[in-house]
Structure 1
Amino acid sequence: MKSDIDGITGLFSKDDACKRVAGIRFASLGSGSKGNGTVVVGGETTVLIDCGFNTKQVVMRLGRLGIDPTNLAAILVTHEHADHVGGVAQLAHRYDIPVYGSYGTHKGLFSRDLDGSLARPFVASDSFSIGDIRIHPVPVPHDAREPTQYIIENRHSLACFGILTDIGHLTPHVVKMYKRCHGLLVEGNHDLQMLMGGKYPAQLKQRISSNLGHLSNAQASSFLGEVLHDKLDHVVVGHISEQNNDPQRLHEAFGRFESTIADFQYATQAKGHGWVEISPSLGANSVTV
């Protein structure tokens, strides 16, 4: 008997899912404390960064983007917190998808029943390739075992995308690495005044605002100012707190970029954001990390 999920996956067109992408395209399945997932495509290779949704939810969210989960080449995990890995093992087992993450992150994942045969641990400072994409893990300060974020480039055109969420403060290495990106998904988690004046317990406020917590709007805005260049055409602000942020404060923090960056948008918890296309021409004069 077919499950509900089997019925959903049967609707996908493999031609759409496997379409060659000369640059990079990326989209969010949802972004926030209730679940995260980001799809990245380069050439004929499709990967999912994190999976904080159950399998039925992630298959439905992939379906909105025209992606069949059987075409995922890998799941890249940033760290072991539940909103990023809650659905990783279930999805990986169902579709036989290898799971990449730092050695520290994999120690956390094994406790969530990930089959060791699907584990692909890596040294957090080492780059590696999967199909048509080159992946550069970036170690970041966050309250997890060995968290990394990712910079991903098309190996053929060098079009480059970076994701940077769940980071407590900006380091010189992080800023240097992300200066080469043509598209970004960056965390703008909270407005500090809203957080401190809100209803969260003092301990949670301290965790979120600490050097191992999450970027505030002000920190994220400062980061964008440091990495901005004339080929950074696409920016998405994500991992936005539903309790400690709002549209007015986001506009106050990022308004200068809304009018100067060609494609500037915000990812939501419910719908993430749709496909963003990074042109292959943007990678023409790039310097490889």
Structure 2
Amino acid sequence: MEVAVKKDSRGSTQCKKECMAEVTVISRLRHQNLVQLIGWCHDGGEFHILYEYLPNGSLDYHLFCNKTPLAWTVRHKISLGLASALLYLHEEWEQCVLHWDIKLSNIMLDSSFNVKLGDFGLARLMDHELGVQTTGLAGTLGYLAPEYVYIGIASKESDVYSFGVVALEIATGKKSVDLMEDKGLVEWVWNHYGRELQKAMDVRLWIEFVEKQVKCLMIVGLWYAHPDQNLRPSVRQAIQVLNFEATMPNLPSSMPIPLFHVPAPSVRSGEAFIITSVDMGR
């Protein structure tokens, strides 16, 4: 059988930790929209991880490097497949899995352009009852939730934010790190939401697309990427909207300015402390 081999020979403690975390997590997961682990070995200071071979490579390549643009039907299928994978990780497996690095280059495609989410080197397992909340900055700029960047606490809502950015990239054909009119992708699309949302669509889609579905994906993307993590939907809610089984959210016409409560450092009994609000501004 054909396999894909991920090789890491850096030999650092952090490298070994990430490789072992990836093997530990993904070997226990079974879902049609997750990359399947075949095997692994650690020899001579080198890690080799073997995965199922996915001939169509990454979504990043097809959106931004391939001269033939992805058809809307394929993009729509990819969006639903990724949402299904995230629902499994957050709610349907025995533990809650925080992926921590959802981005286009980690979204792989098989021969039929079915989604296979991969790269679980940063993933964390948490009990559902406790919820997912962990510290330490990791991930990729452009996909990081604002509260995570400012406070350093990750949660399921951080993964949801990353998926929101991906959804906007799929619909607009623009990279999360590109600046449009001195704005990031989320704010740029949000400005169009307040006026003419169709102008934010990928111009390469004008040949054949379902406008209702494209607009829905962009609105769900904004909902996922809401600056206030408490106003982001669960993955299940978003899937219902994407399938037109629930009404679309009514978002503000302009992107809200997020406010965060910074957790206080640990204090001794009797000591006073202050919770500070952080205003990101724009």
TM range (shorter): under 0.3
**TM-score of the superposition, structure 1-length normalised?**
0.27
Query: Which one has the bigger helix percentage?
Result: 2
For CA contacts below 8 A with separation 6 or more, give which structure has more relative contact order.
1
Query: Which one has the bigger strand percentage?
Result: 1
**TM-score of the superposition, structure 2-length normalised?**
0.27
Q: Which entry has the higher C-alpha Rg, 1 or 2?
A: 2
